[in-house]
Amino acid sequence: MGTFDQKIVDEINEQIEESKKLHCPRCFSTNVETDGGYEYGSNGVGASGYGWDSGDGLVATGYRNVCKNCGYKWQR
């Protein structure tokens, strides 16, 4: 059985760790921020189509992710 080249093993481990990071489904950037999920909706329904209405049009939708690269927003 041969020996492993540590440099190759390290590169593979780095790629595995990078793939575990949260990334934007649109542009694949890892420059993503998770913010509170509150948004204004109409008729008690948020723009996402679901959530809890506080009665003032502000809808709690849970946490959501926002890509700092392209601006795409999505639920966890």
pLDDT digits (tens, 9 = 90+) for 8-29: 989 999 988 887 888 899 998 9
Q: Quote the tokens at residue 41.
A: 């909706």
| pLDDT value at residue 72 | 92
- In sequence order, the 6+-apart residues with CB closer than 8 A to the CB of 58 are 38, 39, 40
| C-alpha–C-alpha distance, residues 38 and 61, integer Å | 6
Using the predicted structure, report yes or no on whether residue 52 has a pLDDT greater than 80: no
Q: Residue with structure tokens 């049009």?
A: 57
Torsion of CA 14, 16, 18, 22, to 10 degrees: -160
Residue 45 confidence (pLDDT) above 80: no
